[in-house]
Chains A and B, each alone.
Chain A
Amino acid sequence: MNLFENVRLALEGLRANKMRALLTMLGIIIGIASVMAISTLGSAMTGSVTKTMDKIGGKNIMVSLSPKNYDTQSTLQEEDLITQDELDAFRSTYADQIKAISFSTGMGSGQLNSGFIHKDVSITGASPDYGLVNNINLVQGRFISDRDMDGTRNVIIIDTTLRNNLVGVDGDVIGKEIQVDTKSTNETYTVIGVYEKLVIDNPLFYMGDDTRIECFIPITTAKSLNPDTTNLNGYENFTIMATSNTDSAAFALTTKEYFVKGLGALSDFTIQAESLEAMASEATGMLATLSLGISVIAGISLLVGGIGVMNIMLVSVTERTKEIGIRKALGARNSAIRSQFIIEAIIICLIGGIIGVGLGSALGIMGSTLMKFPTSPPFLPMIIALCFSMAIGVFFGFYPANKAAKLDPIDALRYE
């Protein structure tokens, strides 16, 4: 007797008891649907985290000096700062793990004036590698060069919004002079580049609506203009871009240890080194914990569902005792009876699984769309879920099916 005939027999059996079959499937449906929903959502989330990480520089390690104790007022001493020599030594020690190091310093906000146009901007002093490390997307001109640095030149890179305000979308802004007033300075800068602001559409990385216009000037220029830092020689923070095959979380620890040694034991400051990758994996780790929790619930639901299937199959075997006797009298082998009932159990579970997969994927896609994660139906989990529901059918269907197969034909025939 072939599989096809068994499937037909099983479907006939189920059609006779549609409502009961549906109720029996409920546990399987709920279990499979919740697994599917969470795995759809999960894969959408991790997918978008990875994408965003690539955008904002997933291999970056932010290193900074921070006070050991925030309660007491501590001021940075020159000996606390990391010198260029120390940095060069570090860089040559770990040459194969470091792709670039960039420095920046915030100059705070200011007002840009050009003719009748006045705009609030924030000024950041940056080193030449800043563009590479922070994935600055230049659309016109160039970024800061070593010569800008050495000459502490008054050059500036503005973003496209500002460019559009100044000269329009098609206008040429390169070489234009603009004036920027901050709390303590008013300087005139020459525009050397235009960049396009990074749009992060990932809710996990949402940091408030950032409508700031950020402009970059050479860090040397920034320092020379900032009275607080002019007398200090060294860096209090920088960003390391690790090479793509480096474990940046581990390298962050190495970096921290390396520079902590350089600090005197008496210093009020310590080194913080955080990798973006580690921060992101923290976020996805939370998601994994959540998935695990939901999977446990789903597992319990599947177990209960499976027991429900077993129960209904036992009822069905008892109800159809006479039918089993008739089939045996007509020449059905034990194996034919067994497969008939196992396949019936598998089909109950498979139909439940299909409904669950459909429902769960729909929920997951709806959830991801609502939370603005780009997503597509996850095929592998679908296949796994369907196989798993069939396995539940085999597992929980076996005992009732075997019971049916082993019925004595005469006892079964005589059953009323």
Chain B
Amino acid sequence: MMRNKIIEMRGIVKSYYLGTPNELEILHGIDLDVYEGEFLSIVGASGSGKSTLMNILGALDRPTKGHYYLDHLPMENVRDDGLSQIRNKKIGFVFQTFNLIPRSTALKNVALPMLYGGVPRSERSRRAAELLQLVEMSGRSHHRPNELSGGQKQRVAIARAMANDPAIILADEPTGALDTHTGRLVMDIFHRLHQEQGKTIILITHNAELAEETERTIRLRDGSIVDNRMNGHYQLEACHESV
């Protein structure tokens, strides 16, 4: 079985110029391949460059050096409007701090990516309601974020990430602000999306146990990948495949 390499990174470097000559290199030549349908976790100490890498993966940021192919598309050739479109259609973001629009209801928040994607109004509401049902938040569709608990907010945020049926879901410490129990519920939703809908999911986490649940874990240290291995039973499957 040929798996589609949905992400290919070669020699990705990210530097900040805090006034020459003080160049601060955050990522030092990252090589990374992710296949379609993979559930990947990224771990590493705080400040090791996880979010920086995630922003590049999510087309929110451009690398200083190196090549990034998203679904075989060389990203260095894509202009800003193209990046917007990629973020809209191919990527679904889930953030640690939820990042819901405070003035909008849950339903409106979920519908927002579809608005920017040019989906007609009635279709937007229909699909947003459907997605809220998927994350078991139908009862709260007309509540604003400040009327929701952390776990509920994150479920709305996941529904929003799914709005335009993206190929990849990028979650930056999605359980970081949640207690263990609600974190568990959120994690289960990711597993479901992965298994039932075949989404490619990249999860940044501090929680070693949660990382263990994913198919593969990458460890970053000071801006370099120091470890890249299959987890638990997935190891076996991977061995079979590579044979």
Contacts and interface: CB of A to CB of B under 8 A. Distances in A.
Interface of A: 1, 5, 12-13, 16, 322-323, 325-336, 409-410, 413
Given A1-B118, A327-B112, A410-B61, A332 B84 contact: yes
Contacts of A331: 84-85, 87-89, 113, 116-117, 164
B195 interface: no
Nearest to A328: B84
Given A331-B89, A410-B60, A410-B61, A1 B99 contact: no
B55 interface: yes
B134 interface: no
A410 B112 CA distance: 19
A327 B104 contact: no
A373 B93 CA distance: 66
A330 B104 contact: no
Given A1-B116, A329-B99, A331-B85, 10 more contacts: A5-B115, A329-B58, A331-B84, A332-B116, A333-B84, A333-B116, A334-B80, A336-B116, A409-B61, A413-B99
B226 to A, nearest CB: 25
Interface of B: 55, 58, 60-61, 80-81, 84-85, 87-89, 93, 95, 99-104, 112-113, 115-118, 121, 160, 164
Nearest to B92: A330
A335 B121 CA distance: 20
A12 B104 CA distance: 9
Please classify the interface of chain A as helix (H, G, I), strand (E, B), loop, or mixed, using the class held by over half of its residues: helix
A409 B160 contact: no
A55 B242 CA distance: 104
A410 B116 contact: no
Contact of B88 (A13, A323, A330): A330
Nearest to A13: B103
Contacts of B80: 333-334
Contacts of A330: 87-88, 93, 112-113, 116, 160
Contacts of B117: 331
Given A1-B115, A334-B84, A336-B116, A329 B103 contact: no
A328 B81 CA distance: 10
B116 A334 contact: no
Nearest to A326: B99
B118 A333 contact: no
9 contacts: A1-B115, A16-B103, A329-B87, A330-B88, A330-B116, A333-B81, A333-B116, A335-B81, A413-B60
A336 B160 CA distance: 19
A323 B101 contact: yes
Nearest to B84: A333
Contacts of B84: 328, 331-334
A171 B102 CA distance: 86
Contacts of B89: 331
A328 B121 CA distance: 20
Query: Which 10 A-B pairs have CB atoms at the shortest separation, nearest pair first?
Result: A331-B88, A333-B84, A331-B116, A330-B113, A331-B87, A326-B99, A332-B116, A409-B60, A333-B81, A329-B93
A5 B164 CA distance: 18
Contact of B55 (A12, A335, A410): A410
B82 to A, nearest CB: 10
B102 to A, nearest CB: 8
Nearest to B103: A16
